[in-house]
Chains A and B, each alone.
Chain A
Amino acid sequence: MNTHNQLPSSHSSVESRFASGFLKALKKMNKNRPSSPSIRDTYRRYNFIRVSAYGLMASAVRPGRAWSHATLWKIRNRTFHRALMKRSRTHSLTRRVARGNPRNELGCEQVNDLRKLVPGGEEMKFCRLLNETAHYMKCLQAQVQIMRNIVDHYST
């Protein structure tokens, strides 16, 4: 299968690209760090880290997939925060979009949930959605592991 053959070769490079970019972003963020951060500060930093994590992961995927393009597009359009924060709104929106698509043979609810989860999955066909989900999942796994390692590194 296509993704199966592609991923292992490019996986380490994707990981390293993401890790280096993410560490750079963290460094940059920590330079501006105030000596006594407030809760609001922490929240801002949290948002920054999360968005940069998603964005760097998406930009580390080369050649870009549909989900990475969608993620980058969202970040660029500044709707990423709101889309993530206001889940309910996107929820209703994607459901409306996906209900217009009669091609789903599996449980409609689940497919819609999956479409909602994978960025850019709203207007994909089901085959494509599964493909993208697999890739996205792999990238998320790698991302989680790298971030976990960084946290370990910080905390030791």
Chain B
Amino acid sequence: MDIAVKDANIEPEKGNENPINYHATNMSSDWPLNENILTNTSLGIIPTGNSIVESSVCSSALMADSFCPQIWDQPVSVQSLGYCDVNVPNNARTKDNFGPTSASTGWIPDAILRECMYLPTFPGMVPQSMPHFLADSSCIEREARFSCFSGENFGDMMNRYIVPENLNSNSHVLASMQGQHDVFASGGRKMSMTESSKEAFLPSEYGTEGSPLKNKKTIESSPFSRVEAKLGVGTLANDSNEVEFSSRGDQELEGSPRESSGKGLGSKKRKRTEQNRELDENNRVPEPSAETAKDNAEIQQKSDWNPTSTSKPAGKHGKQGSQGSDLPKEEYIRVRARRGQATNSHSLSERLRREKISERMKFLQDLVPGCSKVTGKAVMLDEIINYVQSLQRQVEFLSMKLATVNPLLNFNIEGLLTKDTIQSCIGSSSSLPFPPDMIMPYLPLHQTPPGLIQPGLSSFGISSNALRRSINSPFTSAFKESTSQGLSLWEDELHNVVQMEINSSAPLSSQDLTGSLPPGHIKAEL
């Protein structure tokens, strides 16, 4: 039965793709409508086991759909509510499929809350809607990735259950549901998850709605969820459910040790329920049914769109949403594009990285003088490398000079750090007057005659100036500035020569060469 129904359901799903968007836009109008329907029909539908089962199968197919790229790729219209819209249409759809059966169960809003913890506007809509299964299903893989996240949600669920309704049994149902979700997330079997969640959902529904079944349950209810599990199975009374139970029991055996990572109270209860159920259902269910369940799960996964890659954006968004800011949402929407497989997180991060790199390249381009016209990245890197190299060589050159120069011991630090000097520093540093690579080869000349230079500072200045002139002259054409700059350089050098003749202590500074020296400084030197 399962396979047939599911195959029938998978195909109509494609026809239902469009309603997703439709629901997304008309979301607000949908909810009150459905609420009315629910209130009207809620009592009538609950006992019908078969319809529920079918609808659960539908929900499983829908769940497969919820991972489809069409939903993830919903374009800009989703922006207002962000990621949550994607789930909301699903919820609307499940509501349609489930009809009133899924009516005002207490834990539904929690499921939405879990989805939309980061959406401030959403909780207002929560009570009318019934997202539960699909919301949960889309959440499952996220939970698998972020176990702490699910732990929080679980606490939320517990609170919401216990506080308004004072039903411990409901909380147990929830605990069991949470356990199932985790188990199936780890197992990767969505089909069975829906069945089980559906089934676990039924008791809670009974409990909250006050149908006669509730009385039955409360009579039977020991504080453990075994009763509820029985109740769910008994009400559904269907083969498929038992199949799911069996498979779930097996999976719980596998999965329960895995999930034990710090969920506190919830995990305790969940484990208890799991154990009880394993006892119950392993007794009840024959073995071959488990195989059919596995087949179902496989079919489901085939119909899915690449579950791993879909789960990645979901997990990513969950991470962003837990931060609770608006920015990540926009970012997520901005980088998302309808590209099919290319929108997985790897290529997204790669694109972000490339953007970052180009941004930093631009910043570096501003830093390096004369690099603004260069376009190619390789050429720019060359420029950057040359500039850094030149700066390093300048440092070495200047330290060499400091080593050779006989210092006048008394100088004031404040004079060095005044605004004028710093400004002149910055001004002249932005336009590097000479490429120091050309100076480097001449360094040995400085190094060899220290004894000669030593007695007179002026002689050192003159020699270095002459050196620079000899360096600069063959390379004027190679300067980044055009000939006008070269002419000004020559003029300045002539000025320097005149200065040297007038004043024997000629300054050795690149500011003179470029002429970018503030006038006050020149006066002081003259």
Residues in A lying within 8 Å of B, measured CB to CB: 1, 3-4, 12, 15-16, 19-20, 23, 26-27, 30, 36-37, 39, 42-43, 45-46, 48-50, 53-54, 106-107, 110-111, 113-114, 117-118, 126-127, 130-131, 133-134, 136-138, 140-156
Indicate if the CB atoms of A126 and B402 lie closer than 8 Å. no
Indicate if the CB atoms of B388 and A114 lie closer than 8 Å. yes
- Nearest chain B CB to A4 CB, angstrom units: 6
> On chain B, which size bracket covers the interface?
35 or more
Residues from chain B with Cβ under 8 Å of A154 in the complex: 402, 405-408, 411, 457
| Residue of A30, A114, A152 with highest tally of chain B CB at under 10 A | A152
Interface string of B431-474 (1 = CB under 8 A from A): 00000000000000001101100100100110000000000000
Q: Any chain A CB within 8 A of the CB of B400?
A: yes
Indicate if the CB atoms of B357 and A50 lie closer than 8 Å. no
Indicate if the CB atoms of A136 and B388 lie closer than 8 Å. yes
Residues from chain B with Cβ under 8 Å of A156 in the complex: 457, 505, 507, 525
User: For residue B357, which residue of chain A has the nearest CB?
Assistant: A127
Indicate if the CB atoms of A1 and B416 lie closer than 8 Å. no
User: For residue B508, which residue of chain A has the nearest CB?
Assistant: A155
A126 to B361, CA, bound (A): 11
CB contact under 8 A between A141 and B360, given known A19-B417, A114-B384: no
CB contact under 8 A between A42 and B360, given known A137-B387, A140-B392: no
Indicate if the CB atoms of B391 and A144 lie closer than 8 Å. yes
Interface string of B361-377 (1 = CB under 8 A from A): 10110011000000001
Please give me the 6 A-B residue pairs with the lowest Cβ-Cβ distance, nearest first.
A145-B425, A46-B403, A49-B399, A140-B391, A130-B360, A45-B403
A141 to B425, CA, bound (A): 9
Specify the main secondary structure of chain A where it touches its partner.
Answer: helix
- Nearest chain A CB to B71 CB, angstrom units: 33
| Residue of B360, B381, B392, B507 with highest tally of chain A CB at under 10 A | B360
- Nearest chain A CB to B106 CB, angstrom units: 47
Residues from chain A with Cβ under 8 Å of B509 in the complex: 148, 151-152
Indicate if the CB atoms of A144 and B525 lie closer than 8 Å. no
Q: Any chain A CB within 8 A of the CB of B398?
A: yes
Indicate if the CB atoms of A147 and B382 lie closer than 8 Å. no
Known A-B contacts: A140-B392, A153-B416, A156-B505. Give 16 more (CB < 8 A): A23-B416, A45-B403, A50-B400, A107-B378, A110-B381, A110-B382, A114-B384, A117-B385, A130-B361, A134-B360, A138-B367, A140-B388, A141-B429, A143-B395, A145-B425, A155-B461
Indicate if the CB atoms of A151 and B447 lie closer than 8 Å. no
User: For residue B427, which residue of chain A has the nearest CB?
Assistant: A145
A107 to B377, CA, bound (A): 9
Interface string of B320-355 (1 = CB under 8 A from A): 000000000000000000000000000000000100
A156 to B410, CA, bound (A): 12
Residues from chain B with Cβ under 8 Å of A3 in the complex: 363
- The contact of B416 among A19, A39, A106, A141, by CB within 8 Å, is A19
- Nearest chain B CB to A89 CB, angstrom units: 17
Q: Any chain A CB within 8 A of the CB of B396?
A: yes
Residues from chain A with Cβ under 8 Å of B41 in the complex: none
Residues from chain B with Cβ under 8 Å of A126 in the complex: 357
CB contact under 8 A between A141 and B388, given known A46-B400, A106-B381, A110-B382: no
User: For residue A23, which residue of chain B has the nearest CB?
Assistant: B413
- The contact of B364 among A30, A130, A144, A151, by CB within 8 Å, is A130
- The contact of A155 among B359, B448, B460, by CB within 8 Å, is B460
CB contact under 8 A between A42 and B450, given known A30-B409, A142-B425, A153-B411: yes
Indicate if the CB atoms of A155 and B405 lie closer than 8 Å. yes
Indicate if the CB atoms of A50 and B426 lie closer than 8 Å. no
Residues from chain A with Cβ under 8 Å of B402 in the complex: 26, 49, 147, 150-151, 154
Interface string of B494-509 (1 = CB under 8 A from A): 0000000000010111
Residues from chain A with Cβ under 8 Å of B398 in the complex: 53, 144, 147-148, 151
User: For residue A111, which residue of chain B has the nearest CB?
Assistant: B381
Indicate if the CB atoms of B408 and A53 lie closer than 8 Å. no
Residues from chain B with Cβ under 8 Å of A27 in the complex: 409
A42 to B400, CA, bound (A): 8
- Nearest chain B CB to A82 CB, angstrom units: 15
Indicate if the CB atoms of A110 and B413 lie closer than 8 Å. no
- Nearest chain B CB to A115 CB, angstrom units: 10
